[in-house]
Structure 1
Amino acid sequence: MYSFDEKGELLPEEVDTINRITNIPIESLNLDAIAVVTNIYRVAQGLRNKMEQEVLSEYSLSWTAFSMLYDLWVWESIETKKLAESNGVSKATISNITKTLEKKELCYRKSDMRDRRITYVAITDKGKQVMEELYPRFHIGEVELVAGMSADEQKYMSALLRNVIRENNF
């Protein structure tokens, strides 16, 4: 019923999930799809928690605040609507996080001169300095998370995840 990996190993959570859902009368239960989505979710949550606790806490930054500051570091200034899309959050969330980052003097808002309805968020010099200190430590965490994978496996995993991103317009 379920296709095991080449080693025949499943995580305990996967076994529990399979045992629970196989009794549900779903016409075409796709256990492989369930496993992929569940594992992506677990990795994303684990990554977020690890980085917040081990790296971002020193700067009192949440995952979303760091992601937003990272985008500003890369692009210098970005419209709030695009910043929300890039981070997968609402404009209201961007507004709240911007207020927090402004209090820390890491970014500031500016209005579009041609259309006052459009607001941009820009990184400050202090924000750039924080990212220049923080990102190398963050990157070490990224490397540690995938250390058990070969370079080819990392490239393959990235390609597979990009497919999911493209197919779903994330």
Structure 2
Amino acid sequence: MRWVNIHLFNEDGELLPEEMETINQLTKIPIHSLNLDAIAVVTNVYRVAQGLRNKMEREVLSEYGLSWTAFSMLYDLWIWESIETKKLAESAGVSKATVSNITKTLERKELCYRKSDTRDRRMTFVALTDKGKQVMEKLYPRFHVGEIEIVSGLSIDEQKSMTKLLRKVIRENHF
């Protein structure tokens, strides 16, 4: 099965005729009944998310041996200091099993530790170690430079507009 070549968007992010024909062939749905704007938005958001993740893992996080998800968890711990595993999973957008696996790796690196709630032993919290805090204090400024680079082609007004629109999608879909 052939997939839509997502690299055929023009500079305005619109689907090109070749892409529309590919979609038509794949879906056997008349092209006029497809919402091409929705396809373009979702495909571009996906490409940006994947590109951002790959760039940051390759250029910033690899030096610390961190994946995107491990960094996301450390970031949450850096902000909150200690967080219950269920909430950490929700915040990072992963399962509790993934939190458990990544926490084990981060514990081996001495960046965090687990502790049980003294009142309810079923609840487990993950907390940042001093070493984890030091790593985040060194890492985050470099990460932020990457964030700036990624949006450097947009004006401040375009960045604010994009933020507003993406937050609307997040709110409406309860992401």
Q: Spell out, residue by residue over 1:16-55, the C-alpha distance to the aligned partner (whole angstroms, 9 max, x if none).
A: 5322113422683100000000000000000000000000
Structure 1 partner of 2:4: none
The TM-score with structure 2 as length reference comes to: 0.88
Question: Could you list the runs of 4 or more consecutive aligned residues of structure 1 that deviate by over 3 angstroms after TM superposition?
Answer: 8-12
The residue identity in structure 2 corresponding to 1:64 is T
Q: Does 2:170 correspond to 1:168?
A: no
> In structure 1, what is the Cα distance between the partners aligned to 2:138 and 2:77?
15
Q: Does 1:62 align with 2:67?
A: yes
1:135 and 1:88 map into 2 onto residues whose CA distance is: 20
3-state DSSP of counterpart to 2:21: helix
Quick one: percent identity of the two aligned structures? 75
Q: 1:150 to 1:122 in 2, by over 3 A?
A: same
In structure 2, C-alpha distance between the alignment counterparts of 1:64 and 1:18, rounded to whole Å: 34
C-alpha contact (below 8 Å) 2:74/2:132 kept by paired residues: yes
TM-score (norm 1): 0.90
CA RMSD, 1 decimal: 1.6
- Residue number in structure 1 paired with 2:110: 105
Query: Residue 20 of structure 1 aligns with which residue?
Result: 22
Equivalent residue letter for 1:155 = K
Letter in 2 for 1:18: M
Shift of residue 9, structure 1, vs aligned partner: 3.9
Match status 1:117 vs 2:122? yes
Checking the alignment, whether the CA contact within 8 Å between 2:60 and 2:142 is kept in structure 1 is yes
Deviations 1:94-136 (A, max 9, x none): 0000000000000000111111111110000000000000000
Indicate yes or no: 2:149 matched with 1:152: no
SS in 2 for 1:89: coil
Give the Cα–Cα distance (whole angstroms) in 2 for the partners of residues 63 and 19 of structure 1. 35
Match of 1:32 among 33, 37, 42: 37
| Counterpart selection for 1:126 from 117, 125, 131 | 131
Whole-angstrom distance in 1 between the partners of 2:33 and 2:123: 46
Matches of 1:18 and 1:154 in 2, distance apart?
Answer: 29
How far has the Cα of 1:11 moved from its partner? 5.5
Aligned residues: 162
The residue identity in structure 2 corresponding to 1:32 is D
Task: Give the counterpart letter for 2:80 in structure 1.
Answer: W
Q: Say which is worse superposed, 17-26 or 130-139, in terms of deviation.
A: 17-26
Distance, in Å, in 1 between the alignment partners of 2:19 and 2:82 is 44
For structure 2, the 5+ residue unaligned runs are: 1-9
